[in-house]
Structure 1
Amino acid sequence: MGVPKKRTSKMRRDRRRAANNNLRSAVQVIKCPKCKEPVLPHRACAACGTYGGREVVATE
């Protein structure tokens, strides 16, 4: 079984972990079908309070 001969430094470890941050894709923003405001997917609309065609959050 392979065992590291030397300890991995904090800088090398953190650099390797940070390299994956650039691979993440940007968050997709959709338009609310009711009020046409931008909404994150799988979230209730902050403007009108609807999700999936029905009102789930009471808004003013």
Structure 2
Amino acid sequence: MAVPKKKTSKSRRNMRRAHHALGKINVVVDSRTGEYKLPHHMSLIDGTYNERLVIAKKIATDEAV
């Protein structure tokens, strides 16, 4: 079994972890609804993507028991 000969220093350990940070999330404002959304995703409020209707909303009925 491979065993390290020397203890890894704090500096070397931290340099190795320098790339582990999470990146920022890119958020854009939808031009139609004004809501914040991820780019290249559909709008959750009106169901549009790239100014086209993708998903039609269900109409709520009073028949629910």
Does the TM-score normalized on the shorter chain lie above 0.5? yes
> Which range, TM-score by smaller chain?
0.5 to 0.7
TM-score normalized with structure 2 length? 0.55
Would you tell me which structure has more helix in proportion to its own residues?
Answer: 1
Written as runs of structure 1 = structure 2, the 5 A alignment for 1:1-60 is 6=2, 20-22=19-21, 24-60=22-58
Cα deviation code 1:1-59 (max 9, x no counterpart): xxxx8268xxxxxxx6x75430x321111111111111111110101111111111222
TM-score normalized with structure 1 length? 0.59
Q: Give the partner amino acid of 1:6.
A: A
Greater RCO (CA < 8 Å, at least 6 residues apart): 1
- Who wins on radius of gyration, i.e. which is larger? 2
1:42 is paired with a residue of what secondary structure? coil
Paired positions, count: 48
RMSD: 2.6
Which consecutive residues of structure 2, in runs of 5 or more, have no partner in the other structure?
5-15, 59-65
Partners of 1:29 and 1:38 within 8 A in 2: yes
Tell me the percent identity: 28
Distance 1:31 1:6, change over 3 A: same
